[in-house]
Amino acid sequence: QEGRTQRMREEALNIGVNQSVVCILSRPDIGQRAEGSPIVLFFNAGFLHRVGPFRLWVDLSRALTQSGYTSFRFDLNGLGDSTECENASDFSVVAIRNIREVMDELQSRIGAREFVLVGLCSGADYGHPAMVADPRIRGGVWIDAFGYRTPWFHVQRQLQRLLSARRLKNIVQNALRNESRTSDFPDDGVREFPTQAKSQAEIQALLADGRRLFFVYTAGVPDYFNHERQFWGMFPKLKPVASLRYRYFPETDHTFSLVNERREVQDEILRFIVKEPAPIPQPKTP
């Protein structure tokens, strides 16, 4: 296929145990590749196919190719076009194993040594521990990853409810509950996060090892994240450094359903991966 400024090649592959993992490898032509660039890996967000929400992973992958980067989109076993693993009782174990299989295959096939992972929701849940365990993963983009309620989270939630006339009666009902507690987990009963202290310590260790992280949060996870200052409130030991980026999209839903939202987050992720300079964010905590 031919991009706007240079040619690229996309190749369908089957890898892993019994060739069960279905993938798309996207590469710029020889001579157009960014020297020493990592391979960027995209995989499922929840039950979504490897194309990503509203084809966001496809658009990002092809935009990266225009910058000379190779990328790899794949379905985890049991999702999309990849067949389910036998005797797989813990999907997180399967997902992390798939990520390592993909990196092993790319290392063997094209000599890749460094990788950047991009994960949304459960993709971030699987990508982060994979990054902690494998030093080949030099960067991570986590969209709506683990989150923890801070005291200001509860204040902000009540303020948002006060501004919504249709939910006024719920304020009285919720006031009767113990809303002041801080929880390490969301209320949705589906995603379970590591403890706040563990996540913070792991982020610190990754940054100390020279890894790069970009955390993106949207308005689509209001059960555990709801305002711009919350990231620094969750992780008070983290300091603003060039290798750590954070962005909150207060008007964006969880899957970036609007075109302009997808373009904006795509531009942000591209800048992070190709290491374009960005202002170091200043932490703001009440």
Q: What is the rounded average pLDDT for all residues in the chain?
A: 85
Q: How far is CA 197 from CA 203, 232, 236, 270, in A?
A: 10, 13, 10, 30
15 band by pLDDT with thresholds 50, 70 and 90: confident
pLDDT at 173 over 60: no
Q: Are 14 and 77 a contacting pair, CB within 8 Å?
A: no
The two structure tokens encoding residue 168: 């006024």
Backbone angles phi, psi at 45, to 5 degrees: -110, 105
The rounded distance, in Å, linking the Cα atoms of 242 and 42 is 23
Give me the percent of the chain exceeding a pLDDT of 70: 83
Which pLDDT tens digit goes with each residue over 65-102?
Answer: 999 999 999 998 888 778 887 666 678 888 999 999 99
Is a pLDDT exceeding 80 seen at residue 170? no
Residue 177 exposure: Cα atoms within 13 Å on the Cβ side: 8
Using DSSP's 3-state secondary structure scheme, residue 256 falls into coil
* pLDDT mean over 148-171: 74
Tell me the whole-structure pTM to 2 decimals: 0.84
For residue range 178-201, list pLDDT tens digits in order. Answer: 443 433 434 444 578 999 999 999
- How far apart are alpha carbons 41 and 15 in whole angstroms? 14
**What pLDDT sits at residue 189?**
45
b vs e for 180-211, b when ≥16 Cβ sit within 10 Å of the residue's Cβ? eeeebbbeeeebebbebeebbeebeebbeeeb
What is the pLDDT, as a whole number, of residue 279?
A: 53
Q: Which distant-in-sequence residues (6+ apart) come within 8 Å of 208 by Cβ?
A: none
Is the pLDDT score of 32 beyond 90?
Answer: no
The answer to whether the CB of 63 falls within 8 A of the CB of 40 is: no
Q: State how far Cα 115 lies from the chain centre.
A: 14
Let me know: does 196 contact 122? Beta carbons within 8 Å. Answer: no
19-23, 55-59, 66-70, 151-155: the lowest-pLDDT one: 19-23
Is 12's pLDDT higher than 80? Answer: yes
Closest CA to 217 of 233, 195, 197: 233
Span 14-37, mean pLDDT? Answer: 82
pLDDT at 280 over 80: no
Q: Which among 141, 144, 148, 120 has a CA at the least distance from the CA of 245? A: 141
Q: Phi then psi for 117, rounded to 5 degrees?
A: -105, 140
User: Mutual orientation of helices 122-133 and 196-208 as an angle, nearest 10°?
Assistant: 50
**Does the pLDDT at position 59 exceed 50?**
yes
Question: pLDDT confidence of 167, banded at 50, 70, 90?
Answer: low
Q: Are strands 21-28 and 71-74 parallel, antiparallel or unpaired?
A: antiparallel
Q: How far apart are CA 69 and CA 196, in angstroms?
A: 34
Mean pLDDT of 107-118: 94
Other Cβ atoms within 10 Å of 266 Cβ, number: 17
Which strands form 39-42's sheet, in the order they lie side by side? 8-15, 21-28, 71-74, 39-42, 115-120, 137-143, 212-218, 244-249
Residue 251 has pLDDT above 90, yes or no: yes
Hunting for tokens 């260790």 — which residue is that?
A: 205
Predicted pLDDT of residue 99: 95
